[in-house]
Amino acid sequence: MAQGTSRRARSENSKEQILQAALRLAVERGYEGTTMADVSAESGLPIGSVYWHFKNKEQLFVELLEHCHAEWLKIHSGPIAVRDKVTRGIAGQVREDPGGYSREEALLKVAMILALDKRLGGLGEDSEVRRTYIRIRSKMFEVNVRHLADSLPGDVVEAFPELPEKLAVLSLALTDGFYVHANSAIRIDFAEYADLAALALEGLVDRYVNLARERKSVSTAAG
């Protein structure tokens, strides 16, 4: 029994080594630029071991995305303020966030480009990797909406139940857009723009807070 447990542990460790190696390469090179041979060399494991755990590169990337999603859920495990959501997403993706921006989060941004722009070495419609990413992105969005709702005043969410989703859409659009800009030839101070984006969304929240108070005030006066 102990020998069998040890063998399983070694197998799990090898698989984790392969996933971490693939993660390091994929963040820098993307899907097309990462080969099974590269992963073997990066992990220090024989190519046969890589293929024993993953039958092909597509399966490897599917499981890698699932791994990244699991790590993302650990990081984003509770309510998050609009400012923290946006500043981490913008400044962190160019490694300017003091709190750090994990490789797992970075790869999910790389996958966004690959999945949504099939012309630039991206993934075809029938790619299991693309389908996996789209499914994960949808789940991440739902989590963001729920956590943003939890971070807002209850009476505001009650008055404007659509607000958390609007904030999630806007924050996602901002972080996606700044990721694209971060990879362009134009350089800017992303920490500064992260702060400006946060101020804009905080202003939107303040507007809805005031509207909720006005509604409550009118309702109380009418009662």
Q: What is the C-alpha to C-alpha distance for residues 132 and 137, in angstroms, rounded to an integer?
A: 9
The pLDDT of residue 17 is 96
φ, ψ dihedrals at 54, nearest 5°: -135, 120
Kindly calculate the radius of gyration of the chain based on its CA atoms and give it in whole angstroms. 21
Residue where the block lists tokens 């939107």: 204
The pLDDT of residue 15 is 95
In sequence order, what are the residues at sequence separation of 6 or more whose Cβ sits closer than 8 angstroms to the Cβ of residue 128? 58, 59, 62
Inter-CA distances, 221 with 32, 44, 216, 218, Å = 64, 72, 9, 5
Greatest alpha-carbon pair distance for the chain in Å reads: 76
The pLDDT of residue 97 is 43
Closest CA to 172 of 154, 147, 207: 147
The pLDDT of residue 122 is 56
The pLDDT of residue 223 is 60
The pLDDT of residue 124 is 65
Weakly modelled stretches of the chain, pLDDT under 50? 1, 96-98, 119-121
The pLDDT of residue 163 is 96
